[in-house]
Amino acid sequence: MRRFAPLLVGLMLGFVFPVAFAAAQAEATWAGSWRLTINTPDGSTMAPLELKAERGGLVGTSGALDENRFFGPLTASGHREGAEVVLTFAARTQPVASLRLRHNGQRLIGDGQVYGVPVTASAERAAPLEAIATPRVFDFAPTTFHTQFSGRFPPVLRLRPGDSVRTTTLDNEGQDASLTWKGMPGNTLTGPFFVEGAAPGDTLVVHLTRVALSRDSAKMFSDTLNSRADADPQTPAPGWGRDWTIDRAKGEARLAAPGERLSGLFLPVHPMVGSIGVAPPFGQSIFAGDLGPHGGNLDYNRLVTGATLYLPVFQPGALLFLGDGHALQGDGEVTGQGLETSLDVEFRVDVIKGKSLGQVWFEDADDIMVSGVDNSLDLALQAATSGLSHWLHERYGLNDSEIASLLGAAIRYDIAEVVDPRPHVVARLSKAVLAKISKR
């Protein structure tokens, strides 16, 4: 019998090793980097999920799974049950979530509970954004419009970083280029556009490659200045009109009924996007006429062709909206409106992973600009200055004294908006000045 023992051991090893190898291979199909999306009755959240095969099961970590992102990172452990894997997530060793997932090619799909709330879940391989396929160009004709920035509306289009969109916007009253009603009044928005890979904590980059007028007329309430801009009571002229005529060939706008004194007033048009932003945090739905860290009704007259916006991402896919076109607007939008009109817009999207200023900032060929929004002009100015200081610290490594010297000598401010629910002040710094600073 002793002479048969090596043969028996060999046969046993020959059986065990393939089984163990097959099991390891099976677990390996679940291992790796994933982007996990959790859908709850109130909204959704997205988190990175890292899994590796270990001791016949799976272990790993994930970001926060609650929409408000109170608890994270989480530890994860999993075991196979037939064709499915059951993943358990814990915060400080306390179990908080359980998901049952099945593998569907490059995707995980399933359901479970997160903090006792029934959810559905899906996950996609977290391929590097730069490895995603060749950028595409979409010609998108919108048929639905919204008057809120919200994560509760289904996306009208799913984009990948690098993709471009050619689309149209209505005016603030919901009329299109032919003055036909297509949406509810109230800074009517086109969107939302879902950007693959954009997750909370990232930055959505929006390049405005073309902002152009789509009709030869505009409207502006302008018989008096808004009381937030002028404290003195004003008396409107009887019958004063709000219609403007646009000569797109000449690039000029004039009052349709200017009267004698303003009959020679022809102003160069400066087409701009008034409202642009992403779905706000914590499942909020915010009126399109409001503004904040998500963007919104920024009414900054430098959001024109060639400008680039950097928007914090608060919800999966970012969910980009835009609208409220202006043919022209003075600083502060002091009458309560610009020359309101419809637009043709082309934009391109990108994503900066894992970095966010926490507020909106912009750039063009000349300047870096940071948005400050708060309940008063002085607080908005502080928010803009703080944001620009943080930007300089992160990108140039400047200390507080260096930043104070630089901004004390070179900062400039624009009062973008004073008549909306919150004032908007923009702090900016010339790129010519920045070129003289050594990065760390």
Return the domain boundaries, the chain. Answer: 28-126, 134-228+242-358
Tell whether the model's pLDDT for residue 377 goes beyond 70: yes
Q: Which pLDDT score, from 0 to 100, does residue 25 have?
A: 44
Q: Tell me the two tokens of residue 75.
A: 């530890």
Q: Rounded CA gap, 87 and 38, in Å?
A: 13
13-16-18-24 Cα dihedral, nearest 10 degrees: -130
- 8 A C-beta contact, residue 62 and residue 48: yes
Q: Rounded CA gap, 243 and 256, in Å?
A: 6
Q: How far apart are the first and last CA of the chain?
A: 75
pLDDT band at 28 (very low <50, low <70, confident <90, very high): low
213: how many CB neighbours lie within 10 A of its CB? 23
pLDDT band at 55 (very low <50, low <70, confident <90, very high): confident
Q: Rounded CA gap, 217 and 219, in Å?
A: 7
Tell me which fold the domain 28-126 belongs to.
Answer: Lipocalin (2.40.128)
Q: Rounded CA gap, 240 and 39, in Å?
A: 52
pLDDT tens for residues 228-273?
Answer: 999 998 999 998 999 999 999 999 999 999 999 999 999 999 999 9
Residue 138 vs residue 35, higher pLDDT:
138
Secondary structure (DSSP) of 234-278: --PPTT---EEEEETTTTEEEESS-TTTTTT--EE---EEEEEEE
Q: Rounded CA gap, 190 and 167, in Å?
A: 8
- 8 A C-beta contact, residue 385 and residue 320: no
Tell me which fold the domain 134-228+242-358 belongs to.
Answer: Jelly Rolls (2.60.120)
pLDDT tens for residues 153-177?
Answer: 999 999 999 999 999 999 999 999 9
Compute the mean pLDDT over every residue in the chain, rounded to the nearest whole number.
91
% residues pLDDT > 90 (the chain): 78
Report which DSSP code applies to 236.
P
**Top mean-pLDDT range of 40-49, 103-112, 248-257:** 248-257
Exposure string over 17-39, b if 16+ CB within 10 A, otherwise e: eeeeeeeeeebeebbeebbbbbb
For residues 218-233, give the mean pLDDT. Answer: 92
For residues 94-107, give the mean pLDDT. Answer: 91
Q: Which pLDDT score, from 0 to 100, does residue 128 have?
A: 64
Q: Which pLDDT score, from 0 to 100, does residue 124 have?
A: 87
Q: Tell me the two tokens of residue 215.
A: 């009709």
- 8 A C-beta contact, residue 86 and residue 102: no
Tell whether the model's pLDDT for residue 6 goes beyond 70: no
pLDDT band at 439 (very low <50, low <70, confident <90, very high): confident
381-385-388-392 Cα dihedral, nearest 10 degrees: 170
% residues pLDDT > 70 (the chain): 92
Q: Which pLDDT score, from 0 to 100, does residue 27 have?
A: 57
Please give the model's pTM, rounded to 2 decimal places.
0.85
Helix (H) or strand (E) holding 415: strand 412-417
pLDDT tens for residues 382-398?
Answer: 999 999 999 999 999 99
Tell whether the model's pLDDT for residue 1 goes beyond 70: no
pLDDT band at 19 (very low <50, low <70, confident <90, very high): very low
Residue 282 vs residue 78, higher pLDDT:
78
Of 195, 207, 119, nearest in space to 155 by CA: 195
Question: Are domains 28-126 and 134-228+242-358 of this chain identical in fold?
Answer: no
Tell whether the model's pLDDT for residue 346 goes beyond 90: yes
Q: Which pLDDT score, from 0 to 100, does residue 130 have?
A: 58
